[in-house]
Structures are given as structure tokens and as C-alpha cells.
Amino acid sequence: MFIVSQLICFLTKIFLWDSINISSMNIEFGPDRKLEDVQKDFNGAFPFLKLEFAMANKKNNSTDAARVLSNIENLTIGDLNKNIHPGSVEIPENMTVFELEKIFTNKIEMPVRVLRKSGNIWMGTSITNNWTLSQQNEHGKEISTSKVF
């Protein structure tokens, strides 16, 4: 009986540990890092989400009324922020969209907006910016891969 209870305790710990195990990704940044590479790294971790970069509004450094960059090919982080120093940001899957956008704005001084795939279009997440990246990604997957009969 003792061995069975130890086994149950052990399996319970493994199950609980796996259920709270949070995966995360790191995004490296520096003056020579291309925006499209940052976007690809993020999309690799969250395939139904996309980062959209913007020029900071000089008054409040936010994406509100900022100019969204439609062509980021060959643009680097240094092109948007001349004072950037190399570093990285850890992005856990339980981080909210609001928190991620805040980190990019405050730490990298580069406003971003997170978009979620909805079928074959990308939609803003401002209404659901309190959802985690994992929730957003899962919702994008559900919407984009569901079959409509």
C-alpha cells in the first residue's frame, strides 16, 4: 500500500508540474537586428499571431496615432531606435498582449501591435489585449482552421 501511495504522489507531482510548466521564447534585439527576423521569431512561437511595427508617436511613444510600418524589409531596430543596445526579452506564453506591447514600447522604445489571424486576414487585438499570447494564438488557430459547412 505504501508503494502505491508513493506512486500516486509522484504521478500527481509530475502532472501538476506539467500543468504549470510555462514555455517561453526570447527575442534578441540590437541595432543591426532586422525587424522581419524579429517578426519571424515571434511568429515561429505563435503561428497565429503577428507583430506589426510602428514609428513611435513622439509625444507619448505609443502606437496610438503612430504610423504603422507596412514595408519592413531590410529595416533594422537601429533604424527605428538609434540608441538601442543589444539585449533580449523573455516572452512567456502567459504574458498578455498588453504586457508585450508595453515591454516593446518601454524597453526597446519601439511600439508594436499584436495581430491575430482570423481566417486569411490579420485582426488587431486591442479589445482582447488582456488575453495571454497563448489564448490569442489558440483563438486564432480555432478561427483559422475551423471548417464551415
pLDDT digits (tens, 9 = 90+) for 18-43: 444 558 899 999 999 999 999 999 99
Q: CA nearest 43: which of 147, 129, 141, 130? A: 141
- pLDDT(14) > 50: no
Q: What is the pLDDT of residue 23?
A: 85
Integer Cα distance of 89 and 27 in angstroms: 5
CB atoms within 10 A of CB 141: 16
CB contact at 8 A, 125 and 132: no
Residues in the chain: 149
Query: pLDDT for 38-74, tens place per residue?
Result: 999 999 999 999 999 887 665 554 444 456 666 677 8
What's the confidence (pLDDT) of residue 70? 66
Average pLDDT over residues 64-88: 78
In order of 11, 13, 26, 100, 108, the CA distances from 90 in angstroms are 30, 26, 4, 10, 13
Q: Does the predicted TM-score (pTM) go above 0.85?
A: no
Tell me what pLDDT residue 113 has: 92
| φ and ψ at residue 34, rounded to 5 degrees | -75, 140
Average pLDDT of every residue of the chain: 81
Q: Is the pLDDT of residue 6 over 80?
A: no
Cα separation, 128 vs 7, in Å, equals 42
Percent of the chain with pLDDT over 90: 52
In which element (H, E) is residue 45 found? Answer: helix 35-45
Confidence of residue 124 (pLDDT cuts 50, 70, 90): very high
Cα(20)–Cα(129) distance, integer angstroms: 22
The pLDDT value recorded for residue 59 is 56
Residue 15 pLDDT > 50, yes or no?
no
